[in-house]
Each structure stands twice: as C-alpha cells, then as structure tokens.
A and B are shown apart, each in its own frame.
Chain A
Amino acid sequence: MAKSKSAYSTPGKQGKLDTHIIVVWVDNEAGVLARVVGLFSGRGYNIESLAVAEIDPKLNISRITIVTTGTPQVIEQIKLQLKKLVPVHKVADFKREDKKVIFKEMALFKIVGNQSKKEKALKACKKYNAIILDKSNKSYVIQITALRREIDLMSKNLKKLGLVSVSRTGAVAMTRGSEIFK
C-alpha cells in the first residue's frame, strides 16, 4: 500500500446517499440566506435546489426549502447544524420518497415555432397543469407545475418542439392531510 503523505487521516467508507428535502423556518433578516447556504458550502454539503420566500410578514418568518443529497449521517448533521443558527426557528426533513409529503416545482417554458409545434408542445404539457402565460405569433410561454424528474423529462422532450428557454424554481413541500410540520 502506498504510504500516505498526508498529515490527515485517509477517507473512510462512503455510505449510501439519499435525497432529502429540508425545510427551514428562519427570521427574515439580512444575511440569513447566506448563513444557511454558507453552512452548506462551508461543510461540503450539496444543494440540489433551493426555494425561499417570506411566508409570514407579521412575524417576519421566511421558509426555505432545500433539496439535498447525503448519507444519513450527513443529513443528520445538516439538520443539527441548521438548528444551531441563531435566526433558525425549526427544521423539518423528509425523504423524497415520502408519500405523506407533496413536493412541487414550477417551470416556465418558452416555445418558439409554428402553430403545430406550439400546440404539440402545449399538449405534451397538459398533464402538468399547463397554463399559457403569454402568446405571440411565433411563441408560447407555458407554465407547468410538476415533480423535478417530470420537469427534467419535459425540458428534454420539448427541445424538438421549439423549446428555447427554461426557467424553473426549486422544490417546495407541504404535508398531506391536516397535519403540519413540527
């Protein structure tokens, strides 16, 4: 075995990676997003997508939804580290496969082409709550809401139907039924 030339230990076994959705309630104050994002980048955690907006203007609370991947140990660390941040109120965490939670992302597609292409594109989007936000002779802007992988698929499939521009949000999440996140 080659001798280690490092003063640090060699990496141990890598565990299995899971995708989790982490929801964080924070005070909506200057720099709070930088604190949360900086924690991820500083400790080498992943951010697959991020969605953030104020949800309670009176209490000044924002809700951040982060999709991340990591070993169970890393996910646990992410939660505990987030909870240590002063402006963080609570942290919830779900596996992407969790049936009790709804995850949605929104995407805007700009389709440029003749009428037939535009209609085909719109048809393809139908099952994802497609809404036409803007139309011109040559183009449509279509809004859909769907799961990440569905949007991935759509942005691939629509290429041949004149898709020229995609804009999409990170995932947002909410529990099913009457329960709320604790």
Chain B
Amino acid sequence: MSKLYSGAEIVFKCLEDQNVEFIFGYPGGAVLPIYDELKNFNSVKHILVRHEQGAGHAAEGYARSSGKPGVLLVTSGPGATNAVTALTDAYMDSVPLVCISGQVPTHLIGTDAFQECDTTGITRPCTKHNWLVKDVKDLEKVIHKAFEVATTGRPGPVLVDIPKDVQFQKTNYTKFKKQKKLNGKATNQFSQKDIDELIKLMSKASKPIFYTGGGVINSGPKASELLRELVNMTGFPITSTLQGLGSYPGEDSQFLGMLGMHGSYEANNAMHDCDLMINIGARFDDRITGKIDEFSPKSKKVHIDIDPSSINKNVKVDLPIVGDVAEVITSTIKTIKKVKPNFAKSNNQKVSKWWEQIQKWRSINSFNFVNSTETIKPQYAVQRLYELTKNKDTYITTEVGQHQMWAAQHYKFDKPNRWMTSGGLGTMGYGLPAAVGVQVAHPNKLVIDIAGEASVLMTMQEMSTAVQYSLPIKIFILNNEYMGMVRQWQELLHDKNYSESYTAALPDFVKLAEAYGCVGIRAQTPEELDDKIIEMINTDRPVIFDCRVDKQENCFPMIPSGKAHNQMLLGPKDQKENKITGKGKTLV
C-alpha cells in the first residue's frame, strides 16, 4: 500500500510540485499542522511577515516581479480577514496569488468558534475562485486547480480554506504532472480574420495610437519584446497605462508617456484626437478614460484582451480581439510581414502630420515643474533617483498618492516586471511589503519603494521582516507631512479645507529605521540629495530614506473629474499666470 500523507503534508507536496520556492505567511491556531510540516520540506522557504496584509502584498510583489504565482499562508479568522485587502488588490490588478488559509475544524464550522469566520464567503467577491476543502481526498485536486485558476487566462487571486481536522486527516498523494498551455476559461478566441481586419484599420489610419496596459506585462516578457517590434515596425505612437509601464522603453521617442488622470499632455491629447486606438491589454479604467461620453470621439477602437468581459465593459469598441497579448501580436507581426513588408515606409507619410501634431503637444512639456534651490521638489527627487539608479536594473514599488504619480511620470522603465504599484484598488501601504516580496524574488537587485510618509506608515511593521531576512530594500519616502493627493483634491475641489489630511505627529523616520535595526538617511536640501541617494544605494542593508520635500507641491498635469482628455489642467506655471482662480487653467 502506498504511503498515506496528512493534509498538511499534501499542502507542501502540492507546493513542491508547483515549484513554489517561497511562501509568505503568519502562523496561528488553525494552521499549526501545516506549520508543523514546514521543517520537512526544504525546497519551500517561509517568509514570516508581521501582518497578513503584508504577506499578501509581499506575495504580489514577488508575483509581479517574477511572473510566478505568489503564495501566502494565513490562519483562520483575523488571519484571513487581514489578507482581504491584499487579495482585493491582486484581483483588481490581475496578480496571480494562491492564498492558503486555515479554518476551524469542520465540526465547529458555523458555531462561531474561536477565530472562525466565513472565509470563503468574505473572499468570494475578491478572488477568481475559492474553495473550502471539507475532505482531505479533495485537497490535492483543489490546490492544483487553485494554481491553474490563478495563473491562467486573466490572472488573479484564489483562496483555499483548509479546516484544521482536514490538515490532520490522511490520504494518498499522486504526483502531479503539469499540463502545458492552459488558458483557463478564457481561451484564445481570435481568428485570422480579426488580425486581417486590424491590419486593414492600421493601414487606413492617419492618426493611430497604441494604448497598452498591464495585460502586456501579464502575458510574459516575450509580449513586451513583440510589442516593441510591432511599434517599431508600424511607426505609430504608443502610450501606456500605469500598470503597463515598462512594457515599452520609457525613453523611446515613439513613447508618449503614461496617459490618464495624471498622464502626459501629448498622450491624452493623442488619445482624444486619434482616428485609430489599439488597446492592448488595458481595460478602459475610469482614471484613463475621464468622461466616457467624450472619450476619444473620433476614433475606431480595437481592444485586445484575454478577458472577454473586459470588452465593451466601459467603452464600446469596433474590433474586439479576445486572446493572449503575445499570441495576438505574434499573429499581427507575422501577417504584416507577409502582406505589407514595407508597412512603416508606406505609412510614414500618412502619419507624419500626426507626429507633427504630437510634437507640438510634447513641446508643452507637461511633466515640467518649477524647481527650487531651497526645498527639494518631489519631482526633482524622483528624477535624481532615476538618474542615479537607471543603470542598475532597478525594481520600483510604490505606495499610493502623489508620490506614486510622480514616480510614474519621472521614473522611466525599459523592462517589464520592474514596476510594481497598486493601480486598481489604490492600496496605501502596498509598496513596502511589495518591495519585500520583490527582494525575495531578486535578492541581488536594487529594490526601491518610492513612498509617501502617510502610506508607508500603514505597513511600516514589515521593515522588521526585511531586517529578519536581510532584504536590503530601500524605502524612499517623499515626506511632505500631508496625505498629498487628499490635500491636492481638497485644494482644488473643497476650497482648501484641508480636513484631516495633515499628519501632525509623524515619527522621526531616521530613528525609526534605527529602532528596526536598519539604516536611516535624511535629505533636506537639493544640494545634499545626490550624495544621500548614493549613500542609500551603497548601503547593503534595508534603508528608510526620509526625503523632506516641498509641502505644497501638486501633481500635474491632471484631468479633473468628469472632464475629457483634452481638458487637462497643466502645471504650476499655468497656476502662476492665472492667479485669479488659483486653480490652474483649463485648456481646451
């Protein structure tokens, strides 16, 4: 008779068979049998976090920087509810996570037992799917299915809830063979006809634009290479969403910068005026489209997405192509090469006027800001950070708020999987634990969390994790003592009533760093900034960098709520010239 394994052992057998190297977790009563088995499985390393939300975000950082699913292990009740924010975050940003949670023994389920909660009920709307395993015989099948669901089609989080008695029960385990090429429920539905139609639209267009998103990243590094080939071969301009940054080189001349609420003037105007929009792996999010009724009124729209439910959800499109980005672009390139080998040449003239127009918009230089010699401008800080780290294959995470937008505007990425930010859910406190996960996946790379002082305090406890595992993450805090984005909205829309957006009692971040056993660095003037940044980079330990920046700076350009793409508020210069309103000029 073959050997019988306990549920807890089966969990690890499955993780081994799925080639999981790291799990992020926190022990507790209902997962103790699983933790007890940890010592017997050397190929799986456990990273002990300080809060389950941290485990989730660390797993997200791990997944997004490595392309592999992130795994977290939490206990029942509060362990599971603490992970909910991270699961929702992963759901919104399509990050593959497998969350294994303990549950009270089956005979206690429904009795309001100690640390019991309806975990599958609570996480149902924030996972792709979840399972409560009531019989150990189902466990193996469920865990492998969980990995399949998380990583195929449009990726996302899943949760497997395992009652404590099931962790003790014994059954057989059959070695799992990974099937190749799974597409989940969303299979590639596109046909050659769709590709032909796309190429027809492309050759007719005189004002085309590529609008790319996180789907390109999720499709794998190959997709980014293919995207570059396609963009170069067509000569079309390209803009990217927040999540798509890095899929196309940020310094390339065909790249118009990020689009959307705080995107570049040229990208948003080009989106508004284009006659052909090719959306590759983006989802027409409201921060991108602005006012839907006035969104790119004159364009034919193509939408390439692996998730059929993304098509026509927010914006009606003319040509939907459901499929994996890499496969769609491969077919497109192949067909162009066959049908129109000189596509770029023959098209050059047609789009040259369009490029002229784009150059005009570009000359406005919308990411510009008024620099200062006395105070550090946050944009300047990000620019310097970029200049001093750009040759190091740096991984950047962020929190949420003004600093996040400045990072997106001024830090240029030329590779995918280097930029981890919470876009959909907008989770303050994402960046620090995410950096922990990124550093775990890439122990020898430079990992920086560009942070705000308010966000970073939400998950500051994970510095302790970084110290425990000698993860030399760098927390680069743009400290303006305000919840900057809240303050900006209050200034622009609520008559400068700065209700509760100022933090009157902040910790001394340098001392805090020392208390955690890492290194604290403070920069207060533009002069000393470069040296301090270099000091940070050269420190082989975790660093909290307290960068004291201008307290009043706002993030521009900006599309105000309910406005169209061509009605951007430009930056501080506009404000200065227009002191009467003090609210910036609305350009039409």
Contact = CB atoms under 8 A, between A and B. Distances in A.
Contacts of A77: 309, 312-313
Contacts of B128: 84, 86
A38 B124 contact: yes
B149 interface: yes
Interface stretch (B51-59, B268-276, B284-292): B284-292
Interface string B188-231: 00000000000000000000000000000000000000000000
B489 interface: yes
Contact of B124 (A7, A35, A73): A35
A84 B289 CA distance: 25
A30 interface: yes
A35 B130 CA distance: 10
A8 B560 CA distance: 9
Contacts of A35: 124
A83 B560 CA distance: 36
Nearest to A41: B125
Given A9-B286, A9-B562, A77-B309, A84 B185 contact: yes
A4 interface: yes
A9 B149 contact: no
Contacts of A9: 286, 289-292, 561-562
A80 to B, nearest CB: 4
B486 to A, nearest CB: 10
B562 A10 contact: yes
Given A30-B132, A80-B308, A86-B149, A8 B561 contact: yes
* Chain A interface extent, by class: 20 to 34
Contacts of B291: 9-10, 12
B185 A86 contact: yes
A31 interface: yes
B316 interface: yes
Contacts of A30: 132
B137 interface: no
Interface in B110-143: 120-121, 124-125, 128-129, 132
A7 B488 CA distance: 11
A65 B290 CA distance: 36
A34 B122 CA distance: 11
Interface in A71-104: 73, 76-77, 80-81, 83-86
Interface string B160-188: 00000000000000000000000001100
Interface string B303-316: 00001110111001
Contacts of A84: 128, 185-186, 307-309
A12 B292 contact: yes
A3 interface: yes
B45 interface: no
A120 B128 CA distance: 54
Nearest to A88: B185
Contact of A31 (B120, B186, B292, B309): B120
Contact of B309 (A10, A38, A81): A81
Nearest to A86: B129
A27 to B, nearest CB: 11
Contacts of B186: 84
A4 to B, nearest CB: 5
Nearest to B560: A4
A12 B120 CA distance: 35
A129 interface: no
Contacts of B120: 31
B125 A38 contact: yes
B494 to A, nearest CB: 7
B489 A7 contact: yes
Contacts of B562: 4, 6, 8-10
Contacts of A42: 125
A34 B121 contact: yes
B457 interface: no
A6 B561 contact: yes
Contact of B561 (A7, A34, A38): A7
A182 interface: no
B534 interface: no
A85 B316 CA distance: 23
A127 B461 CA distance: 72
A58 interface: no
A101 to B, nearest CB: 24
B388 interface: no
A73 B312 contact: yes
Contact of A76 (B124, B132, B312): B312
- The CB with the most chain B CB atoms within 10 A, among A5, A13, A80, A85, is that of A80
A85 B493 CA distance: 40
Interface string A1-32: 00111111110110000000000000000110
Contacts of A76: 312
B293 interface: yes
Interface in B483-513: 489, 493-494
B152 to A, nearest CB: 11
Nearest to B154: A84
A76 B311 CA distance: 10
Interface in B546-577: 560-562
A38 B125 CA distance: 7
B261 to A, nearest CB: 9
A40 to B, nearest CB: 11
A176 B90 CA distance: 45
The 3 lowest CB-CB distance pairs between A and B, nearest first, are A80-B309, A86-B129, A10-B562
Given A80-B308, A83-B309, 19 more contacts: A3-B493, A4-B560, A4-B561, A4-B562, A6-B561, A7-B489, A7-B561, A8-B561, A9-B290, A9-B291, A9-B292, A12-B293, A31-B124, A38-B124, A73-B313, A77-B313, A80-B309, A84-B308, A86-B129
